[in-house]
Amino acid sequence: MEAGSSLLRAIDYSKCIGCETCEVVCGFIHELGPFIKLYELGGGVKKPISCFHCSKAPCIEACPTGAMRKDQYGAVYVEPSKCIGCMACLYACPFGIPELSEVTKTSTKCDLCRDLRREGLTPACVAMCPTRAIILGPPRAIGDEVKRRALTKIVYLGELK
């Protein structure tokens, strides 16, 4: 992945079976994690949610110390040495994503596995999702994939089976 080209992660909730692999692998590699979490919505339906890495991230706007940042791929992350744990980012986030770590007393959230990406690897939740419900790539490629998947639900392909 070239620097400067941004990354978009999308979760295809029609493919997700709620198996919890994303949450488990995230928690395994992040001491303060997991940063993708499943919630039960009733009737046994469980789905994951994580940071959307907004292009115009309100959490970055709201952060008074410049701790909330964006890397060159557009991943929003916390620089802990600058964070005062005020959680203005949580108030600003429309999805309630940032969490206060009881250990570091700073805001914590998904950084799309910066450490793994530095080594040319894929974020853990994307790499390990059994159903390929979690996808990551340049926004255009993700947009294409989402639309391609939508088409497979509309167009009859039975003859090919």
Partner 1 sequence: MKFAFLCRERPGAAKQRVAVIGSGPAGLSATGYLVCRGYEVDVYDKLPIPGGMMTFAIPKYRIPLDSIMEGVDELKSKFSVQFNLATKVICGERHDEGDELATNTVDLLKLVEGYDAVLISTGTWRSRRLGVPGDDAKNVMSALEFLLNLHMVDLGLRKSHIGSFKKVVVVGGGLSAIDAAEESVLRGAQEVYLVYRRTIKEAPAGEYEVRRLMRMGVNWIELAAPKSIVVENGSARGIVFQRMKLGEPDETGRPRPVPIPGSEFTIEADTVIAAIGEIPTPPIASECGDLAKYVGKDGRISVDKNYRISGRNIFAAGDVVTGPSKIGNAVGQGLRAAKEIDKFLSARILAAVPR
Contact residues for partner 1, defined by CB under 8 A? 17, 19-25, 27-29, 42-45, 116, 119-122, 124, 127-132
Helix (H, G, I), strand (E, B) or coil at 48: strand
The nearer residue to ligand FAD, 20 or 71, going by C-beta atoms, is 20
The nearer residue to partner 1, 48 or 98, going by C-beta atoms, is 48
Pair 63, 88: CB distance under 8 Å? yes
User: Smallest gap, in angstroms, from Cβ of residue 47 to ligand FAD?
Assistant: 13
Partner from partner 1, ligand FAD, none contacting 86, C-beta within 5 to 8 A by type: none
The nearer residue to ligand FAD, 19 or 60, going by C-beta atoms, is 19
Q: What's the CA gap between 156 and 8, in Å, rounded? A: 29
Nearest to 129 by CA among 42, 48, 32, 58: 48
Helix (H, G, I), strand (E, B) or coil at 37: strand
Q: Is 24 in the site for ligand FAD (CB under 6 A)?
A: no
DSSP 81: G
The nearer residue to partner 1, 105 or 132, going by C-beta atoms, is 132
Q: What's the CA gap between 26 and 158, in Å, rounded? A: 37
Among 17, 29, 49, 151, binds ligand FAD (CB under 6 A): 17
Among 1, 19, 60, 127, binds ligand FAD (CB under 6 A): 19
Q: State how far Cα 31 lies from the chain centre.
A: 17
Residues within the interface to ligand FAD (CB under 6 A): 17, 19
